[in-house]
Structure formats: structure tokens, C-alpha cells
A and B are shown apart, each in its own frame.
Chain A
Amino acid sequence: MNGNDRNTLIYRFVITLLVILAINFFLPRMMPGDPFSTLSSDIEGEDVIIMTEEQRQYFIHYYGMDLPLHEQFFLYLANMAKGDFGQSIYYKLPVTRVILLHLPWTILIVLSATAMSTIIGIIIGTISARNRKKGSDRFMMAGLIAFAEIPSFLLGIILLLIFSVQFRLFPLAGAITPFAHYTSLLDQVWDIAHHAFLPIITLSLAQLTGVYLLTRNTLITVSTKDYIRTAVAKGIGEKTVWTRHALRNALLPVVTRTGFMIGLMMGGAVLVETVFSYPGIGLTLRSAVVNRDYALIQGILLIVAVAILLCNLVVDRVYRQLDPRVTE
């Protein structure tokens, strides 16, 4: 990559980021209501504070929301430039802190789910491709496609009902046991894994069919290529042909897909985290939206958008490493 290309790439990123910032700013404000006119809370058992008009005006002024919209926007941009994400109205904490508190949980389940669905998807995709048109292939295809049609939140609820409610194998909510005192690090890790298991499974299952189908179909296409015939002719054995020659080539699109999926799953985590009351960034976003917590919505959306951008960048890099045909 020469300097010119690098500059173009940076310009593109800056422009994309500006567009995202603008959308992040205006979109929440286009929703009806404001942070101080919430009349009821969706969260049960929470005290609902009904403010007087006077109090409301005071807060609006306090948070600078009585300024003209464009001034607010430029102020917001200026603060962003300084790395100041603002103050969460609901949590009464800096947005950065709120995000830092919840982001790790999301990253944990998203990355685990990605790794899990990708590895399992590739394995069963390969098995399916090698047994193409045989019973096992048809069965897996039909089963997984049907499975993919179940929405992830529904799947989550079903899993929750079966494994947590019925068999009491997994906790119903949360990321850790509240007020727990861990005796060892292993104990802590186990607790976290125990809580994260069902969300990870739900997210993985939602991704699995995509990876499986892509692996299977790419492998089938690749297996008809001339270089596979060359490899067979070399007498290197069926296993080597499939792994070193076929799979190595078939994985290229799978890698691309996986990279993009990480970013998209950050957004998709909202539903799954809600179902499992998992305190990740998705659940936080939901409450921020309900409470019209503008600064927090902006912050989370920005993090998600940046994550997607970063993933694209990483995929690009990784692909260059895997496929020598992509020009440097």
C-alpha cells in the first residue's frame, strides 16, 4: 500500500465517521419525548419520578438542551474531538464509564459465539460437502436451514425456558452471581462462563447456518476446480486434498463473512442480551433508548459503528494474508 492509498483510506474513514456521528446525534432526538418527560418506566419496580414543568426546564437548561439544535451538534462534535462522550442522564455517570462497564460482557459473548459458530460451521460444512447428495448432507442441510428461520430472541427464550427454568442448569439472568465471593480465579471464570453459556449458544446458533452453508457451498464449488484435480492426480491422499487444497481455498469467503459478522453481532446482541438480562452493551442501549438518554445512545452507537469499521479493516488485512492474489 503506498502513501496515496493510505490517505484515501483515512479520508474514507473520516467521512464515514462524520456521517455516523451525525446520524447518532439526530436519530435519538427524532424520537418522541425527551430524557425528562418519561412518564413511565418499562423497568418494573422502579420508582417513577414525575417532574414538575419547572424542574424539567431546569434540567433541560442544565444539560444544554435549550440551545439551538445546530449549536448542540457542534458542541457535541467538539466534545467528541476532545474524547468527551458526555454525561449519561440516566446513570448519572460519564458515558465512557458506562460503556466500559458493559462493553466487556458483550465482547465476551460476541467473540465466543463467533469462534464457536465459525469452528463448528466449518467442520459440519466440510462433512456435509464431502458427503454431498448423501443422506447426512441432505439431513444437515434441511435441519440447519429450518433452524436458521427461528429468530434469535425466540430461540433464546426457548433455551431459557428449557435449561434455566425447567432443568435449572443455568442462571436466569445476569453475567455474574450477585454479591458472590470467589475463592479462586477458576471459581470466578466458571461463574462467568456459566452465566455466559446460554447467550453464547443462542448467538452461535443464529450464526451457525450461515457459516455452514457458506463453507459447504464454497467447498463444493472449489472441489470442481482444476487445481483439485491436479492435487488428486499427485496422489497426495484424499485427506490432504480436502484440507490443504480445497478447504484452504474455501475458507477465504468464510473469513470475510466471519469478520463482518462480529460487527453486526454487536448490534444483534441487543435482543439476546435483553432475553437473558445480560448486562452487555445491548441491554444498556435498550435502557438508554427507553430513557431517551441521548448521550449514552450516541456513545453506544458510536462504539458499535467503530467496531464494525474496525472489523472490516481487520478482515481486509487478514484476507490479504490469506489470498496472495489480492494486490498489495
Chain B
Amino acid sequence: MGQTFAEKLLARNAGRTSVEPGQVIDATPDLVLSHDNTAAIIRTWRQLGLPRVKHPERLAVVLDHAAPAPTTQHAQNHAEIRQFVAEQGIVHFFDVGRGICHQVLCEEGLIRPGMLVLGADSHSTHYGALGAFGAGIGRSEVAALWATGTLWLRVPESIKIVVSGTPSKWVSAKDVGLYIIGQLGAEAGNYASVELHGETIAQLSMESRFVLPNLMAEMGVKNAWLAPDQVTLEWLRAQTQDTSPELAERFFAGAIYPDPDAHYAAEYVFDVTSLEPQVACPHAVDNVVPISRVAGTRVHQAFLGTCTNARLEDLAVAAQILHGRRVHPGTRLLVIPASARVLRAAVQMGYLDTLLAAGAVIGPPGCGPCMGNHLGVPAPGEVTISTANRNFRGRMGTREADIYLASPAVVAASAVTGRIIHPAELE
């Protein structure tokens, strides 16, 4: 019988010819991610009494969650981390301002098809956009990986989602992702490997593709996978400025594709031809409605940022909408690019000039206020519309604030009117 992506990848990783769902294997990740939580992981790892981490070349550390440091205590954490990565010879270290971990590791060419990537961050599912197996784990598990290089993983059941149809002008990958989560629910992918298939997915730009496996974390998935193809390869080429034929050879040699006769625990088909822009309402990511149901809701803050939607094309659509317009009085528009590379490109393209002229506030590349640390947390009673992936109660720092999740186009348009609005109404 055929095998799914997850079955093939975990079998190869564990040096077996095949594995079955439910089986527990000792996996050896190719890359292990941690971010600001590295300070806590260092303290845990020190309890093990080892002088050196086992594979420093397989570790990546990015300072992004509270960066630049908002308090002395955050700064102290960062200082401990800098000292540790120097001591241990961890070369894949990206300091404050380089950007959000998931974006940075992809831009740096550290993620390739067929890799196993484990990260102390729930949105490590992100790496599936490049055909890798990305899964979130806990801090103690990262400490254990620093010590031993291996970790037990249960081979997941696989779920196949097929998306077809050409969406309308203002419907983006974010709307497709929110729609799927709204239809299937927050637990639909728990413990499972989700494969996203179909013409709609294949036609997405690489930047749009990153949105989907990232968002699938909100369905509980272990990992989410998209088929690596020429679009993926060209994006990697551009990011790494590697024009050699070997890049393509290594790319396709590493890539893993499911067999046509693989067995899936569930299969779902979605046609997005007539989909409206989607909005996730407070206080759950699966509380999703078409925008017409919440249009007119007053917003105090519009936030364009996070690992889900703060890439160049997201800033481009915001600039297109805000060109020649002003952010509504009484509403703040906060724009935090996903990385320094995105920020620089946005400057070169003139997007930042447009956004600033419209009255936007620009923040330094990083996670910003997504999890309530700094740089734009709402006041009690305020409403934020955000391009992030989570709207749980208290997420942005106060339990008395409402968070709506939407696409960059909807967030930008809502900033103009101070109310949730379909971008088509501004045309």
C-alpha cells in the first residue's frame, strides 16, 4: 500500500523502509529551532550537566518574540542567549531585528524539502510550505534534543485536503486557511499530518503558500505539507542567490511526495470559487464567518504583522489599498514586517513610503504585539483586527480586548474606514 508524506519522511528519518500511524520512532531532526525561550531552555539543559550541545550545527536560535527587548529582564534573557550561542558555537543565530524565526529560517535557505524540523514554537508547522516536516515541541524536549540529538515521535495519521477553484480578487490564502479551519474546527487536525493538495494551492505564490501550514497549527495539526515544485525552487534560488544546478538536484533529491494510493484517515474537498473574505471572530480561530456578517464592526487598531502575514506581498496589498488614503482618525494602523529582508524590500518598492504617508506606524521586524509582549498591545475594551493566527482571550495582553483575524487586504481596508469592511467597497 502507498504511503503518505509523513509516513515516508519519518520512515526515511528513522532508517526504516516503512512506518505505520501510531508507531513511535526515534527521530533525528535536521534542524531544531528555539527563540527567546532559549534562555529557559538553557536553564533546563544545564540541569543535565553536559559541557557541550551535541550537534550545534543543527540548532537555530532567533530572537524575535520580545525583540528589541522591552524590559531589563527580557534584555537579560537575550544577553544569556548571546553568550550561550557563542560558547557552544551555534552559527545559525539571528539577533534582534533580523525577523520572525519562521520567516528567517526559510529566507536563509536553512529549510529544504524533505527535512525534519522541530521547534519550540507551535507555528513550526510553517516549514511544510517548503515541503519539510515541521512540528512544534516543548522546551524540555528541545533541551533533550540539545543533549541527545533524538526525540520520540508518534507517526501521525494523515488527512488530505484538496482545494479547487480560482478565488475572487480579494480572497487570499489567509481566507482559504480561515475558511478550512472554520469548516473543520479547532481539533480536526489534532495529532495528524495534513497534506494540502489541489490546483488552488499549486497556483499560489510562494509567499502566499507560507500562510497555510502556519495557520493549520490552529487546527491542532502535527505538521502540514504542500508539494514542493518549481515555484518553491525559484523562491529558494532567489533567497539564497544560489544559481547552481546542484541546488535543483539537491532540492528534488530531498523532496518527498505521497503515493497516489496512500491511505488517509480523512479526506476533504473545498471549492473556493465563490468564497468571500473570511474573518475569525473573538475568541477562537475556528469562529469564522464571511466578512459580510461582521462588516461595520468598529476597530481601534489594525495590525499587519506576524509569521502568518507580514511578507512583501502582504505589505504590497496594504500599500495598494492605502495609496492616496489616510488611516481613519481614532484607528491606529500598525505594520511590522516579518523580517529585515522584507522591510528593506518594502522600502525599495516604495510601500513603506505609501504606508507612512497614510499614517501607519512601522515597527521593527519581529513578533510585535501578537502575544501581548509589547509594541502595540490594546487597551481593555478595544478591538483589534489583525493578520495574525491567534485571537484567544488575553492573547494580546488583556482579557478585555477583542481580536478579529483577517487577510492583509481586509486589515488595510478596515484601517481606512475604522470599521471592518470588504476591500471591494473602497474600489
A binds B: no
